[in-house]
Amino acid sequence: MASKNKGKIHMRAQWGSNIGFILAAAGSAVGLGNIWKFPGRAYQGGGGAFILIYILIVAFIGAAVLLAELTVGRKTQKNVVGAYKALGHPRWKWVGGMGVLCGYIISCYYIQVGGWVLRYVFSYIFSADAVYADPNGYFSNMLGQNGFPWIGAVVCPLIFISATAVVLLKGISSGIERFSKIVMPALLAILVVLTVRSVTLPGADEGIKYLLTFDWSKLTASTLLSALGQAFYSLSLGMAIMITYGSYLKKEENLVKNTGLICTLDTVIALVAAFMIIPAVFATDVEPGIGGGFAFASLAGVFEKLPVGELFGVLFYLLLLVAALTSEISILEGTTAYVTEQWHWSRKKAIIVLAVSSFVIGIFYTLSQSYLPIKGIWMDITNGVQFPSFGDFMEYVTDRLLMPLGALLFCIFVGWVWKPKHAITEIEQHSVGFRLKKVWTVLIKFVAPAAIFAILVSGLLFGMSLS
Ligand code: TRP
């Protein structure tokens, strides 16, 4: 597609191959959420019952919204703000702007967490004993409990964001796509090795049984909402990402099939991650959990008990590193596409300014964990609302507010303003068949908005006790 850009004919970048696109989009979707959130949530939600509900939510709601995002992207061949204008609804462009903002804030903290993961790759190579000796102390030390966290907040995140920027500077097909084609198979290979190790541990069968047992009594409204929120987060929906990635797709590619493949890959990887984590923690008597404290501190208890545990530790943090890198690449690409197309910056300038600024802002995310006394001040500003830290506030604003709000407005836009029939025309060109178009229309107009509305309201009402 050529478009006029300040008098110059400007060729828009495209994916080189469909498999490259699938791996890049799956790379975006498969992130920390799959590996350190899903297994813990499946555990809390009672195992099999949660997993079943999660699969249904992805199949019906997640896939419907993902298909809509890819379709808007490919139809308009624009960034998320430009897309609304291109469809003739410039008044909606601020919904895209909200997505860009949300992506930018996530990028700030993802860089930091990616840096911590990198730190732990080194820790397990060189000084696993120091981690084992005091897992919690080691973790909070990295975050600045005993002095300015140079390594955790500055050095490692800087390496992480530099790697991201280098890939992005190479462009779409020779950067993002080539990188994804190399590291995604590596991610799968590591995941398989770790899962085989986990399920063959003595005592692992208890964990496997737990995941396959349907304990319906644990399936309450709040676990249902947790599954819904997890599905949206895991598929990277509600932000600038999937629209942008879809905008680099060729017209002859099959959007329906691609949506199915991305959802399947993301969900299978989350499921396998559950079978990697839960049997291992059952076998070693570690308490299953969610998030950083679990992934960085509790899991040391698992690695310590395994023969050649350091090796498995290195592999595990490499797995997290790949997952985090491909996700960070996609977040920054979404914002980069916006800045280059709407503000007419060069790609190089956009990437460098975005990378440097989100790196600098992100430092405060790590500092707020324990180094800076922001906690107290923050409580005053928020009138006593219990945000454990500035960092938690960033996560709250993105996961509970901007992301669901963006996704909700996006569904309303496609379902009621742009209209599903126009989307279906885009999907069905080049004689691509779309048998479920009636079902999809109902999903995008009614079911998905209602479900997202529930996430939004519950986030606002109960979201303060961040889990
Ligand atoms: N999907 C990512 C995960 O599972 C997290 C995420 C949410 C994300 N929104 C994103 C990643 C946007 C990249 C872009 O961890």
Residue 266 CA: nearest ligand 1 atom is 4
CA 142 to centroid of ligand 1, rounded, Å: 24
Q: CB of 29 closer than 6 A to ligand 1? A: yes
Question: Alpha-carbon distance 392 to 368, whole Å?
Answer: 9
Average pLDDT over residues 160-187: 97
Residue 235 CA: nearest ligand 1 atom is 1
CA 349 to centroid of ligand 1, rounded, Å: 24
Structure confidence at residue 453 as a pLDDT band (50, 70, 90): very high
Q: What is the pLDDT of residues 411-424, one digit of tens each?
A: 999 999 999 999 99
pLDDT at 397: 86
Nearest to 319 by CA among 167, 140, 90, 120: 120
Residue 347 CA, distance from chain mean position = 23
Q: What is the pLDDT of residues 281-340, one digit of tens each?
A: 999 999 999 888 899 999 999 999 999 999 999 999 999 999 999 999 999 999 999 999
Q: What is the pLDDT of residues 60-93, one digit of tens each?
A: 999 999 999 999 999 999 999 999 999 999 999 9
Residue type, 437: K
Q: CB of 366 closer than 6 A to ligand 1? A: no
Residues above pLDDT 90, as percent of the chain: 79
Structure confidence at residue 465 as a pLDDT band (50, 70, 90): very low
Q: Which two tokens stand for residue 250?
A: 């060729």
Question: Alpha-carbon distance 331 to 334, whole Å?
Answer: 5
Q: How far apart are the first and last CA of the chain?
A: 45
Q: CB of 31 closer than 6 A to ligand 1? A: yes
Is the pLDDT at 111 greater than 60, yes or no?
yes
Nearest to 389 by CA among 419, 416, 418, 365: 365
pLDDT at 399: 83
Q: CB of 233 closer than 6 A to ligand 1? A: yes
Structure confidence at residue 391 as a pLDDT band (50, 70, 90): confident
CA 370 to centroid of ligand 1, rounded, Å: 25
93, 243 contact by CB (below 8 A): no
Average pLDDT over residues 201-229: 91
Q: CB of 230 closer than 6 A to ligand 1? A: no
Structure confidence at residue 146 as a pLDDT band (50, 70, 90): confident
The residue to mutate among 98, 331, 397, 401, having the most atoms of ligand 1 within 8 angstroms of its beta carbon, is: 331
pLDDT at 2: 44
CA 98 to centroid of ligand 1, rounded, Å: 16
Task: Return the sign of the alpha-carbon dihedral for residues 273, 279, 285, 289.
Answer: positive
More confident residue, 6 or 157: 157
Q: What are phi and psi of 8, to 5 degrees?
A: -90, 145
Average pLDDT, the chain: 92
CA 433 to centroid of ligand 1, rounded, Å: 29
Cα–Cα separations (whole angstroms), residue 392 to 106, 290, 369, 384, 387: 11, 14, 9, 14, 6
Separate counts of helices (H) and strands (E) for the chain? 25, 2
CA 323 to centroid of ligand 1, rounded, Å: 10
Q: CB of 118 closer than 6 A to ligand 1? A: no
Beta bridge pairs of residue 10? 3
Residue 239 CA: nearest ligand 1 atom is 12
pLDDT at 388: 58
pLDDT at 387: 52
Residue type, 240: A
Burial class of 299 by CB neighbour count within 10 A (0 to 12, 13 to 18, 19+): buried
pTM, rounded to two decimals: 0.93
Q: What is the pLDDT of residues 358-382, one digit of tens each?
A: 999 999 999 888 777 655 554 455 4
Average pLDDT over residues 157-177: 98
CA angle 146–149–150, rounded 5-degree value = 135
Q: Which two tokens stand for residue 361?
A: 């802002």
Question: Alpha-carbon distance 295 to 292, whole Å?
Answer: 5
190, 319 contact by CB (below 8 A): yes
Q: CB of 32 closer than 6 A to ligand 1? A: yes
Structure confidence at residue 9 as a pLDDT band (50, 70, 90): low
CA 348 to centroid of ligand 1, rounded, Å: 24
CA 32 to centroid of ligand 1, rounded, Å: 8
Q: How many CB atoms lie within 10 A of CB 155?
A: 14
Is the pLDDT at 436 greater than 50, yes or no?
yes
Average pLDDT over residues 235-250: 94
Residue with CA closest to ligand 1 atom 11? 327
Question: Alpha-carbon distance 144 to 148, whole Å?
Answer: 5
Question: Alpha-carbon distance 129 to 132, whole Å?
Answer: 5
Q: CB of 33 closer than 6 A to ligand 1? A: yes
